[in-house]
Amino acid sequence: MRFKKKILCIGAGYVGGPSMAMIAYKCPDYQVTVVDINSARIDAWNSSQLPVFEPGLDNIVKKTRGKNLFFRTDIENQIKENDIIFVSVNTPTKSYGAGANMAADLQYVEKTARQILKFSQSSKIVVEKSTLPVKTALAMEKILSHAKGKIRFEVLSNPEFMAEGTAIGDLENPDRVLIGSRETKCGLKARSRLVDIYTRWIPQDKIITSNIWSSELSKLVANAFLAQRVSSINSISALCEKTDADINEVAKAIGMDRRIGDKFLKAGIGFGGSCFKKDLLNLVYLCNYYGLREVASYWENVIRINEYQRERFINQILHSMFGTLAGKKLSILGFAFKADTSDTRESPALYITQKLMAEQAEIVISDPRALKNAKFDLAGAKGKVSFIEDPYAAAANSHAVIVLTDWDVYRRLDFRRVYRSMIKPAFLFDGRNILDHRKCFSIGFNVYRIGKPALTHI
């Protein structure tokens, strides 16, 4: 079959894989190829055990893989063959040199741009899908401007707004798709070619276009605003605990104001995931770079509150369990950074577990999907830690059960059975406020939650 369009994505990660699978699924007449330098990852994409757990993803990969969706490692060849290239490589926080622990590490993006330049034999549209600091497109353009002969590159910005755990729904029915370009004749032409792809399944009014810098910046700002809401509600949860107000009742009351809205108002142990902290740090770095100290400090506090919330939770465990955790068995329910993903990058559970281990507690970790990553994350950790998928077995003979991920399965646990198997007094710390606290209290647990008074028998 001759395909109408040939699309390449460089980077087969959490974004590259699912977003390209969706394009392939919605556009059966397009050939979509995803490449990566990590051959083990490509092998996994070509196997029955995809490298990313995402509800609904298996289904669309099954329908497209080998037909119009291909996962490959021959990057050089694929750059030659395709004329629209998405760049979806990782952009972690820089860990060395100038801007260490703040700025985005752009080495993977730059290497990709150089590869595109080196192997291209015809003009191409290069689409930034990775999250990048504003003005990165300029660096891409400068590198790509060294093309030989008549080869020209047009750089577009098309940031991805999907969230893990709901990626398939987000990609199929996004709130908006944003495409930024240079406002030149060539830029606008390239932009409309990208719009054409998305209009295959997304209503025109949800596809918005802008200048390239607005697009790059909007992605960082969207994540910063979302993270800010989580920190805002978490800061108020601390006040609720002092005043007998209930954070859920406060969130409901304010969220019903349409100007505020009810999303992202769930108090908990703080946000995790690979992006919120990284993108906030990047925003802070950019503000400082442009001399905007007050603005930088405003956004930096969103991160500070996130750290404060985790510390408060750890201190609550320590103090309510009589000031010592040494030798006590603590069962952690949930290690992923949120429900419905196996991803543990920047998971609050990792930080909390390490702190509890430092108190010489004996840790048992349970998670329906993330145990493989949890084992990897804690491989070098000093102390006693074990991994048991069955939450009942994990909780048996423990002094405390600590809920760190909002998996649905924990809501449905038989807490009478859990209580019977535990050492008394039995403690329950619900870091996600997902359980029926009154019921657990009536069973006999000492229940500690976020932004509400504790329910204790002690």
Q: Kindly list the residues in this chain that would bind ligand NAD in the complex (CB under 6 A).
A: 10-16, 35-38, 41, 75, 88-91, 108, 111-112, 130-131, 160, 162, 164, 274-275
344 binds, among ligand UGA, ligand NAD, none (CB under 5 to 8 A by kind): none
8 A C-beta contact, residue 296 and residue 287: yes
> Residue 154: which of 122, 132, 187, 129 has the closest Cα?
187
Q: Which two tokens stand for residue 316?
A: 């609550």
36 binds, among ligand NAD, ligand UGA, none (CB under 5 to 8 A by kind): ligand NAD
Nearer residue to ligand NAD within complex by CB, 38 or 442: 38
Catalytic residue among 9, 27, 240, 275: 275
CA distance 428 to 450: 12
Alpha carbon 270 to its chain centroid, in Å, reads 13
Question: What's the Rg (C-alpha) of the chain?
Answer: 24
Burial state string for 345-377 with b = 16 or more CB within 10 A and e = fewer than 16: bbbbbbbbbbbbbebebbbbbbbbbbbebbeeb
To the nearest 10°, the Cα dihedral for 283, 221, 179, 21?
90
8 A C-beta contact, residue 306 and residue 227: yes
8 A C-beta contact, residue 161 and residue 176: yes
Task: Give me the least distance between CB of 219 and ligand UGA, in Å please.
Answer: 7
216 binds, among ligand UGA, ligand NAD, none (CB under 5 to 8 A by kind): none
Residue 240 designated active-site: no
What is the number of other CB atoms lying within 10 angstroms of the CB of residue 184? 10
CA distance 423 to 400: 8
Task: Give me the least distance between CB of 222 and ligand UGA, in Å please.
Answer: 6
337 binds, among ligand NAD, ligand UGA, none (CB under 5 to 8 A by kind): ligand UGA
Q: Which residue is nearest to ligand NAD (CB)?
A: 13
8 A C-beta contact, residue 368 and residue 394: no
Nearer residue to ligand UGA within complex by CB, 264 or 308: 264
What is the number of other CB atoms lying within 10 angstroms of the CB of residue 322? 10
Binding string to ligand UGA for residues 238 to 277, with x set by CB under 6 A, is what? --------------------------xxx-x--xxx-xx-
Which of 230, 361, 404, 418 is the binder for ligand UGA (CB under 6 A)?
A: 230
Nearer residue to ligand NAD within complex by CB, 242 or 263: 263
Which of 37, 44, 147, 163 is the binder for ligand UGA (CB under 6 A)?
A: 163
Nearer residue to ligand UGA within complex by CB, 265 or 332: 265
Task: Give me the least distance between CB of 52 and ligand UGA, in Å please.
Answer: 12
How many residues make up the chain in this entry? 458
Q: Which two tokens stand for residue 46?
A: 């070509």
16 binds, among ligand UGA, ligand NAD, none (CB under 5 to 8 A by kind): ligand NAD
Q: Does 308 bind ligand UGA (CB under 6 A)?
A: no
410-414, Cβ contacts within 8 angstroms, sequence gap of 24 or more: 410/333, 410/334, 410/434, 410/435, 411/435
Task: Give me the least distance between CB of 440 and ligand UGA, in Å please.
Answer: 21
271 binds, among ligand NAD, ligand UGA, none (CB under 5 to 8 A by kind): ligand UGA
Q: Which helix (H) or strand (E) holds 272?
A: none
Q: Does 317 bind ligand UGA (CB under 6 A)?
A: no
91 binds, among ligand NAD, ligand UGA, none (CB under 5 to 8 A by kind): ligand NAD
Task: Summarize as ranges the residues that interact with ligand UGA (CB under 6 A).
Answer: 131, 160-164, 223, 226, 230, 264-266, 268, 271-273, 275-276, 337-338
The residues annotated with a catalytic role in the active site are 275
